[in-house]
Amino acid sequence: MSNTAAIKTVLFDIDGTLLVTGGAGAVAWQRAFRELHGIDADIEEHTHAGMTDPEIAAIVFREVIGRDGSEAERAKAIAGYLSHLEDAVNESSGYRVMPGIEELLPKLVERGVLLGIVTGNIEAAAQIKLARADLNRFFAFGGYGSDSSDRTELTRKALERGGTVADSPLDLDVAIAVGDTPRDVKAGHGAGIRVVAVATGQYSVEELENAEADWAIADVRSAFPL
């Protein structure tokens, strides 16, 4: 590590970094659009890892329904998604926590590291996904897709909320983000912090290195920079 003290704040992405839901999010979106608009929307065909929930709603309207949804229609779609998400997550046989996460989080808490979430999920969806594995208890704050459709902005929002929790602005030199996509890397750098990229999602270590992650590792058990 370059001339910094030990890391004091870590922001974790959810999907592909902390856990995978086994497609539960796509199932919930599909059920919502079938219920509201009578169509079967293959979410995974039209979206990419790292997108925010508001982006997903807009894309499905544009690419599946064939028009831009109104603000009210997108709000109904998101509410419908949330109404189906908990059941979809609990039913999913593919839900799992990523290797090393359940061991790492309590160790960080024990060291006094401030833990937050930075995710494209709207806040309610994030809490539903974390709840099945009881991971909510580790995170005091976060930045969410409900704050902004721009991942850099929602990362800044997470850091701002972390400062509120800590009762003083966070020192960005001793804060890092952990994510699994090039979008996570770009967002962390845009918000002024370094990024650990883990190859537990859809991208390899090499691809994450090419995205200019400060550290690119197989998973959090591999030389986590703390």
Around Cβ 67, how many Cβ atoms within 10 Å?
Answer: 9
146-168 mean pLDDT = 95
Q: Where are the alpha helices (H) located in the chain, listed in sequence order? A: 24-37, 43-46, 53-60, 71-91, 101-110, 123-131, 151-166, 182-190, 205-210
Beta strands at 96-97 and 19-20: parallel, antiparallel or unpaired: antiparallel
Around Cβ 112, how many Cβ atoms within 10 Å?
Answer: 8
Q: Which residue has the higher pLDDT, 44 or 146?
A: 146
How far apart are the C-alpha atoms of 91 and 110, rounded to whole Å?
A: 33
Provide the mean pLDDT of the chain: 91
∠ Cα 219 114 111 (to 5°)? 75
What would the pLDDT profile of 91-130 be if each residue is shown by its tens digit? 999 999 999 999 999 999 999 999 999 999 999 999 999 9
User: Which domains occur in the chain, in start order?
Assistant: 9-21+97-217 (3.40.50.1000), 24-91 (1.10.150)
How far apart are the C-alpha atoms of 116 and 93, rounded to whole Å?
A: 27
CB 88 within 8 A of CB 31: yes
What would the pLDDT profile of 38-85 be if each residue is shown by its tens digit? 877 776 665 566 678 877 877 777 777 777 778 888 888 889 999 999
What percentage of residues in the chain have a pLDDT greater than 70? 94
Instruction: Identify which of 216, 106, 114 has the alpha carbon closest to the alpha carbon of residue 171.
Output: 114
186-215 mean pLDDT = 97
